[in-house]
Structure 1
Amino acid sequence: MPKPLTIAMPKGRIFEEAAGLMQQAGYDLLTDQEDSRKLILDFPEQNLRIMMAKPMDVVTYVEYGTADIGIAGKDVLLEQDRDVYEVLDLGISPCYIAVAGLPDQPLSRIAPKIATKYPKVAADYFREQGEQIEIIPLNGSIELAPLIGLADRIVDIVSTGRTLRENGLVEYEKITEITSRLIVNPVSFRLKSDEIDEMVRQLSIVIGEEVK
């Protein structure tokens, strides 16, 4: 039997939604093991192996070939700019990246401070707007930054907007829409083309996307 097709997937909401799509496509990954502490899940009857990874690490595993395929948010792909093929927009876990801050708070004239866990996305966006900014990298509780005067604005993921509202912040600009994407290692794309093409074809049928 050939080596299993290895898929890197994040735990939580994205896994649940992706596993649902995979099941509709004929790949049964729905299992109680997702709630366990196991990081590698084997499905020998389907010749599949699932690696459970943090969302920001999925693209790294795929780029270095430890996973053939991955499911990652477009936000991660934009931020990391890794050498992987983005082959299919799965349309799951929709959200968007936005600029937010305190209401009626003007930007500082000289190098506004922008707090974010997406420094590349933020820098690219403000550069396109002709703004020179100072990036303040943060990993959590980004909404705190403008409240304590650390930053003029934040750049972060917005799903429902509830967290912004509860902290008295408003959305200023929407940067880009985000969904989860199917990504492939370039070498695996050649060596395991039959299995990968079939998975892409089946998933495309499920989500109603025309295969190119």
Structure 2
Amino acid sequence: MPAPLIIAVPKGRILAEALPLLAAAGVRPEPAFSDENSRALRFATDVAGIELIRVRAFDVATFVAHGAAQLGIVGSDVLAEFDYSELYAPVDLSIGHCRLSVAEPAELAERDDPRGWSHVRVATKYPHVTAAHFARRGVQAECVKLNGAMELAPTLGLAPRIVDLVSSGRTLKENGLVEVERIMDVTSRLVVNRAAMKTRDDVVPLVEGFRRAVVERLAA
């Protein structure tokens, strides 16, 4: 019996948007997947030979790039940060819309002009994307790596600015921060392990299923 085809999906807000696309592509997780009290991370589906794993968004790319999963759903922000050569991103799922932006305290923004920056210190979980963005502008960036609670960095003196995902902007506002520069727009993508795409017959039909699901969703 061949090894199961594993799809890595992200925990958090993207998952709710991804599940209808999965279903439209013909894959529905077992009931335990929806059990909020379950600590399981690996689940069967209604398709024999296809399983789901639920992991942190940043880890989806790693699982797929190293072949532990064959497909995954991951934000373009993560793909840009890691730039794995082993990943192929054939379908923009057009979900998880947000942006990666620079933000700073409102009182600093009132007297600040990003065009005059020559050196910045920022807290972010995207040090590579951040450094590359500022390098293109001729700005030296000192990045402090954080995995969460980014909004605390300016108020506690860790870094005067942050680079983080912004959707509605509510979290920034509630923490006294304002968006001052956009680095990139972000959507979630279907990613595939390149080797698996060449060696497994069950990968391409599933990719096509996702592609049709996106087209149908956007046309609705």
* TM-score, structure 2 normalization: 0.87
Q: Is the 8 A contact 1:115 1:142 kept in 2?
A: yes
Q: Which runs of 5+ in 1 are unaligned?
A: none
Amino acid at match of 2:83: D
Corresponding residue to 1:204 among 195, 198, 211:
211
Aligned-residue offset at 1:167? 1.6
Q: Please give the per-residue CA displacement for 1:104-135, whole angstroms capped at 9, x wherever unaligned.
A: 25379663211111101110110111101211
Find 1:119's aligned residue among 123, 127, 130: 127
What residue identity is the alignment partner of 2:127? P
Q: Structure 1 residues 186 and 124 mapped into 2: Cα distance closer, same or farther (>3 Å)? A: same
Mapped to 2, the partners of 1:69 and 1:203 lie a distance apart of: 11
Aligned residues: 208
Residue 149 of structure 1: how far off its partner (Å): 3.3
The match for 2:73 is: 71
Counterparts of residues 1-212 of structure 1 (less than 5 Å):
1-29=1-29, 31-34=31-34, 35=36, 36-43=38-45, 45-82=47-84, 83-102=86-105, 103-106=109-112, 111-192=119-200, 194-208=201-215
CA RMSD across the alignment: 2.0
Q: Percent identity?
A: 42
Retained in 1: the 8 A contact 2:45–2:51?
Answer: yes
CA contact (8 A) 1:20 1:30 kept: no
3-state SS of paired residue (2:154):
helix
Cα distance in 2 between the residues matched to 1:163 and 1:109: 25
Contact 1:6 1:67 in 2 (8 A): yes
| Deviations, residues 128-187 of structure 1 (Å, cap 9, x unaligned) | 111012111122221122223332321100011001111221111111111111111111
Return the letter of the residue paired with 2:45. Answer: F
The alignment's TM-score, normalised by the length of structure 1, stands at 0.90
State the distance in 2 between where 1:80 and 1:39 align.
23
